[in-house]
């Protein structure tokens, strides 16, 4: 049932993105980028920026709603009578106040054996911090506070917006370069390449996106180190280190999947070779070592 819901939401989101961007292109009067003289580079760049940035920011704008639906996140009422949940909300709000957030994040929990937490939301004023049931069961309270400090630091640092902006720029550059390269490959063809040129554009986008993912992952790893340092300042360095140690002991219960607009407290399994370049989170050993060295 949850898988079917995810497929439906994925399709619905893409329909929304395509419709919104198509309307935006018409409103902006962005004309076709190919004419009798060749490529209109200004029109092509505008086209790619609207598509590349538009999709990324629509996903970010809907990120809180999407994770609630897709992952079954239940937002906790700040006035809940459940002492455990009340303690969780109070901890997030105290950390948010210490971080200087203009508005308190929503706090949510979701049913999963994974040991994980994440932060998402389009702005520092419209954010969500969610933790898994598995994390609350596997960690003691000081470790949970370390995890929450890390997630609040992500929000305070504006990581969701920053990563979305970078993703949008990469998307736009991939689209731009793929079309320019394909145009020059087929510019002397009688029919301009036709369907073959379209296929070459798709292949080039896949190849160039791979290199874009490497850049995005490298930047993400830097943001994780920064969020660890921020979590250490907010919750305490020992709690942050203890949280990472706790994650290392429960690595088999850590979800390794990703979401573009979710800054998650995930674990790197130190994949070998080229795949290590695609890891969005540094190895736990390195994260712990950096925090200890900062003492």
Closest CA to 226 of 294, 124, 125, 145: 294
234 within 8 A of 95, measured Cβ to Cβ:
yes
Structure tokens at 28: 């902006």
Known catalytic membership, residue 151:
yes
State the Cα angle at 260 between 202 and 13, rounded to 5°. 70
Question: Which stretch of DSSP H or E encloses residue 140?
Answer: none
Which of the residues 151, 224, 245, 286 is marked catalytic? 151
223 within 8 A of 157, measured Cβ to Cβ:
yes
27 within 8 A of 76, measured Cβ to Cβ:
no
| 274 vs 282: CA distance, rounded Å | 14
| 94 vs 263: CA distance, rounded Å | 20
38 within 8 A of 47, measured Cβ to Cβ:
no
Sequence-ordered list of residues with C-beta below 8 angstroms from that of 181, at least 6 positions apart, any chain: 200, 204
SS3 call for 290? helix
115 within 8 A of 253, measured Cβ to Cβ:
yes
254 within 8 A of 242, measured Cβ to Cβ:
no
Structure tokens at 94: 């105290």
SS3 call for 107? strand
Supply the residues annotated as catalytic.
151
């Amino acid at each position: 049932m949850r898988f079917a819901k995810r497929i439906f939401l994925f399709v619905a989101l893409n329909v929304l993105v395509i419709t919104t961007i198509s309307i935006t292109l018409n409103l902006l009067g962005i004309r076709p980028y190919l004419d009798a003289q060749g490529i209109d580079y200004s029109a092509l760049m505008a086209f790619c920026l609207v598509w590349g940035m538009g999709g990324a920011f629509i996903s970010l704008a809907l990120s809180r709603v999407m994770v609630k639906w897709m992952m079954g996140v239940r937002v906790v009422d700040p006035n809940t009578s459940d002492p455990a949940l009340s303690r969780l909300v109070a901890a997030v709000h105290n950390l948010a106040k210490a971080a200087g957030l203009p508005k308190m994040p929503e706090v949510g929990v979701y049913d999963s054996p994974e040991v994980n937490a994440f932060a998402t939301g389009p702005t520092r004023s419209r954010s969500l911090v969610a933790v898994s049931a598995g994390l609350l069961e596997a960690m003691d309270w000081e470790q949970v506070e370390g995890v929450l400090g890390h997630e609040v630091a992500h929000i305070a640092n504006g990581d969701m917006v920053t990563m979305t902006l970078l993703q949008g720029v990469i998307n736009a550059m991939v689209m731009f370069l793929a079309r320019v390269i394909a145009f020059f490959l087929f510019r002397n063809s009688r029919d301009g390449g036709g369907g073959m040129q379209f296929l070459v554009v798709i292949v080039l986008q896949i190849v160039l996106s791979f290199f874009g993912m490497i850049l995005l992952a490298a930047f993400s790893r830097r943001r994780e180190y920064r969020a660890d340092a921020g979590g250490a300042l907010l919750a305490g360095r020992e709690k942050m280190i203890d949280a990472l140690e706790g994650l290392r002991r429960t690595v088999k219960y850590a979800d390794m999947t990703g979401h573009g607009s979710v800054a998650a407290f995930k674990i790197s399994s130190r994949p070998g070779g080229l795949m290590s370049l695609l890891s969005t989170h540094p190895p736990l050993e390195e994260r712990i070592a950096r925090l200890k060295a900062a003492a």
